Every structure is written in C-alpha cells, then in structure tokens.
Amino acid sequence: MSSYRIGTLVAAAGSGLLAAGAGVAASALVAASFTGVPSPLESVGNAVIDLAPAVVKDVAVETFGTADKAVLLSGIYLVIAAAAALAGVVGLRRPRLALWMTAGLGALAVAAGATDRTSMLAGPLTALPAVVALVVSVLTLGWLLAVLGRQERTDSTPWWEPHPGDDVGADFDRRRFLQAVLVTGGVVAAAAVGTRLLGSAAAVASRARVRLPPATDGAGVVPAGAELDVRGITPYLTPNDDFYRIDTALSPPDVPTDTWTLRVHGMVDNPLTLDFTDLLRHRLVERRITLTCVSNEVGGDLIGNATWIGVPLADLLNEAGVDAGADALLSTSADGFTAGTPLAAVTDGRDAIVAVGMNGEPLPIVHGFPARMVVPGLYGYVSATKWVTDIEVTRFADFEAYWTSRGWAEEGPIKTAARIDVPAAEAELDAGRHAVAGVAWAQTRGIAKVEVRVDDGDWADARLGAQDGQDTWRQWVYEWDAAPGRHTVQVRATDRTGSTQTSDQAPPRPDGATGWPSRTVTVS
C-alpha cells in the first residue's frame, strides 16, 4: 500500500478545515446580523445541552464548573475540525463523497438550528444561518478541491488507498491554491470580526440609552456593621462583574428594549402586554436580595447579593386580576428558558419583582437585560427568569418547566445554610488568633445564629454582621485561638424560625445540597 505525500495530506485536510471555517464564520455573521439569533455552532451546543442526559450535565458542571460551556464549545469545534479535515482527505479521491460528508455535517447544524428554542426567528427562517453554513462550506470545499485538481475516481479502490498520481503533483498550481487559501482565510477572518462587532450590539446600544427612574421606595443604606472587617470575607454586596451566572443557552439573547415586551396572561381577567416604557411607569421598588442557585454545593459560590430595582410582581398580577384556582406562574425568557414559580410566593407579601436594575445600573446583558424576575427565598431555577418576556398565570398540574422536566424539584425554597470563606482549605496557619468567617443565608426567614466548632468540640456562637433584611445573607465571624496541629472547623446556621442547617449530606439534585461545610487547616 502506498501512501499520500505529507504535502498532499496537508493541502487536502487544510481545504476541509478552511471550508468548514468559512461555513461556520459566514453563518455566525448571518446570525449576528439578526437580533436574538444564535449561530449554528451555538445551536448545536444548545441541542447538546438540551439532549444531554441529566447525569452527563451534572458531571460536566462538577468537573468544569462554570467553564462547562467553554469546554462544550471547544469539544464541538474539535469534532467539526476532525470531520472537516477527514472530508478534505476523502476529497483527494472522492470529491463527491467529501461534499456529501460536508453537507451531512451542515444538515446536523440545520436540524439544530431549526429546533433551537433560543432563536427569535420563527418558522423555516430559524434554520437560515445553518443553511448558510451548509451551502458555504460545500461550495468552498468544492472550489478548493477543484483548485487542487481533484477528480472523482470511479475505480473500486477505497479512498484511503492512494493510486499513483493521486498526490498533488508537478502539474499542481501551487500559486493558485495558495491564493485560494488566502482568500478563504481572509473571508473567515473578516466574518469573525464582523460577528464580534454585531454580537449583542442591539442590546448593548439599547442598555447604554436606558435611564432608570429613581425607585419610589428605596432600599435605604446598608446598616452599619452589616459588613464585617475581616480579610478574605465575601463582600456584603456582590459587584455585577463578580456575580455568578447560570445560563442554559451558550450566549445571552440580544434583547434591546424596543423589541422587548412582557405579556402577563393565562388565568387572568385582563391580560397585559407591557413594553419597557409601560413597565417603568409602574411603582419601582429597590431591594437588597440574595440570589442562590440550587446547584450550589455545600460551601459553593453560586450565590450573590445585589441591590435590585424593579416593579413588584404582585402589582402586575393585581392589574391583570388573577383567577381563583391558579397556583403557579410559568415565566419564559427570550431564549426559551422557563421557570415555574408558586403563585403564593409572589403574593404573600415578599418582595418578588420584575427587576430592571442591578446595583445601580440597568441589568447587565448577562443578568437578563432588559428585565428579569427576582423572587426572594426561591432558588433561581424556579423564579429568577432572565430576559423575561412572558408570565403565564397557570397551574403546576398543567406544565413542566425547563429544570423540572430534567429531574429537579417542582418547588425550590432556599435552604438555610452557611459557608466558610476564611481560612482557606488546607491553609497553613501560625498558632494564635484567626478569624473563621463567612456568610449565611435563609432568604425570607433571616439568619438568627451561626455556630462554629473545631474538631467535633462544642458549638460556639459566631458574631453576626448587623441584620439588613430577611432576604439577604449575613456575614459572620468567629475568633479562633488556634493551637498547633491539624484541625477541622465546621459551621452551621440557624434561621429565625429556629430551624438549623442539617448535617445530613445531600447533593444539589433535586432540591438543593445540604450538610455542614468544613475546612481542614494545619497550625504550627
């Protein structure tokens, strides 16, 4: 068996890669030139996320944390690159087969694009960017193979066994091929730059124009003493850039205020459709509320505390007039995410809001611009819909929301919990006084007590930061006189209903992790 020359293989595989690159880049540009339309690559990623069994998703999140999306995208890139390079090599003897392979890849993208729930295009148009990917990559590969002088071989030799003469030979027009490579590469680069510029351009420009009116009902200043003077403790208020993010879609939808509306409908007397100006004409309240993710592990950092400005959800529901018999809100985002929230949690007097501001700014794009829900006391997956466009008053019996259809509990009240911020795990400390400190939360109930113990000794009360609201976390600190040796410190919180964080260890699924956080350190 003879083999191809290296130069031939590089030219062929490179042609495959360039063709796929052209398809991906052109289609991303087409997608970015619409508002709220994912690129086919993102659609494939979204399809993988939606189709992946829950176990796989859990393992991915556990292994890669919030980098799981980047890992997924890189994986998709690698698979496409491998398939594209292979198609190029196949094209040496079987150009037609290579084009079919490329079209097959494109067809997968078309399927993912057509079914992408995050797309704001409707009907057959949804698949448009992916169709562009298919057409551009097939045409580009056909062209590059032609420049390489490839002819269809009809003999029965399989494509991986080269015949004499299959190699790119002396008759090969090297200059013409290099020109073709440069042209294609240039188009790919230009498309990539254009895509970057277009990205969430509409939402970014729209956000820059938003001026939020002051809240009629402010949050007041943070009480003195809510922020403890302890090095390494989590700041009382989380800056927007440090706020954790959980998204089911690969990139945030592009939702400028002028295309945004919020529908409140379903089991109501007067369905509402509000545009952004209508929404801002309502009573605006400002509240500090700690948001928590159900996926947060014991001691984890999927939690943040912010000052939100928004319209009380109860006001909107009163305006719409809720029918007796409804027990749930089904909220939907511009990117197709859904959450089911107990109606009672929104009408029992707590500060559930449709938020438009976060820490004194319009909502950041990634945190739901122009509007999101925030409901104190409920994990985000059942309440905190970002880019919210639709709130249906309904019954739990009549729907399944995004995460509840994937094995998570229908209702997600936040569990009472504490977290240790300092000392760091496996820290090496000098003997003497050290702060053991962190945050504790029990939204809507409030934190009454945090206790610390060392090496299974007696529980001792930590000092609490001043009480702000019941809906925010509370800092705590315990002054520990550390003796030499290896020690484990543990912490547990008690809320104002008297219920203490349980020692039973449970994973996040289905309704939130439990257990006492601990840190082991060495003192010398």
Ligand X SMILES: Nc1nc2c(c(=O)[nH]1)N[C@H]1C(S)=C(S)[C@@H](COP(=O)(O)O)O[C@H]1N2
Binding site for ligand X (CB under 6 A): 243-248, 291, 293, 333, 335, 337, 367, 380-381, 384-387
- The reply on whether position 403 binds Mo ion by CB under 5 A is no
Q: Which of 162, 342, 380, 438 binds Mo ion (CB under 5 A)?
A: 380
CA distance 478 to 377: 26
Nearest in space to 254 (alpha carbons), one of 35, 38, 40 = 35
Residue 421 binds which of ligand X, Mo ion, none (CB < 5-8 A, kind-dependent) = none
Q: Which does 453 bind (CB under 5 to 8 A by kind): ligand X, Mo ion, none?
A: none
Cis peptide before 510 (omega within 30 of 0): yes
3-class SS of residue 29: helix
Nearest to 250 by CA among 35, 63, 80, 47: 47
Residue number closest to ligand X, CB atom: 380
Angle 425-427-433 from CA coordinates, rounded to 5°: 115
CA–CA distance, 381 with 61 (Å, rounded to integer): 15
Residue type at 269?
Answer: D
For residues 101 and 23, give the distance between their C-alpha atoms in angstroms, rounded to a whole number: 14
User: 86, 97, 246, 314: which one contacts Mo ion (CB under 5 A)?
Assistant: 246
395 binds, among Mo ion, ligand X, none (CB under 5 to 8 A by kind): none
> Minimum Å distance from CB 252 to ligand X?
8
369 binds, among Mo ion, ligand X, none (CB under 5 to 8 A by kind): none
Residue keyed to tokens 């400190």: 437
Q: Please, what is the minimum distance in Å from the beta carbon of residue 294 to ligand X? A: 7
Minimum gap (Å) between residue 61 Cβ and ligand X: 11
Residues of span 3-32 touching Mo ion by CB under 5 A: none
| Residue 515 binds Mo ion, judged by CB under 5 A | no
> Binding partner of residue 442 among ligand X, Mo ion, none, CB under 5 to 8 Å per kind?
none
Residue 408 binds to Mo ion (criterion: CB under 5 A): no
Shortest distance, position 335 Cβ to ligand X, whole Å: 5
Query: Which 132-151 positions form the footprint of Mo ion (CB under 5 A)?
Result: none
- Binding partner at 378 among Mo ion, ligand X, none, C-beta below 5 to 8 Å by kind: none
Specify the residue, 46 or 184, whose C-beta has the smaller distance to ligand X. Answer: 46
Q: How far is the CB of 450 from ligand X (least distance, A)?
A: 23
Question: Per CB under 5 A, which region of 140-148, 238-246, 436-444, 495-503 contacts Mo ion?
Answer: 238-246
What minimum distance in Å lies between the beta carbon of 497 and Mo ion? 24
Specify the residue, 4 or 243, whose C-beta has the smaller distance to ligand X: 243
Which own/partner pairs from 317-320 qualify as long-range (CB within 8 Å, at least 24 positions apart)?
A: 317/264, 317/268, 317/346, 317/347, 317/393, 319/264, 319/270, 319/272, 320/264, 320/265, 320/268, 320/269, 320/270, 320/271, 320/272, 320/393
Residue 290 near residue 383, CB atoms below 8 Å? no
Q: How far apart are CA 338 and CA 381, in angstroms?
A: 8
From CA 521, how far away is CA 499, in angstroms rounded? 29
Least gap, CB of 344 to ligand X (angstroms): 20
CB of 116 or CB of 247, closer to ligand X: 247
C-alpha pair distances (Å), 503 with each of 78, 424, 506, 511: 43, 21, 9, 16
Tell me: does residue 304 bind Mo ion (CB under 5 A): no
Q: Measured from the CB of residue 371, what is the shortest distance to ligand X in angstroms?
A: 11
Least separation in angstroms between CB 506 and Mo ion: 16
107 binds Mo ion (CB under 5 A): no
Residue 178 CA to residue 15 CA, distance in Å, equals 11
Q: Which of 260, 337, 381, 396 binds Mo ion (CB under 5 A)?
A: 381
- Tokens at 327, concatenated: 């027990």
Helices (H) and strands (E) in the chain, counts: 11, 19
Question: Measured from the CB atom, is 4 or 408 closer to ligand X?
Answer: 408
Q: Which residues between 278 and 297 bind Mo ion (CB under 5 A)?
A: 293
Residue 53 to residue 509: CA distance in whole angstroms: 14
State the residues that interact with Mo ion by CB under 5 A.
Answer: 246, 293, 380-381
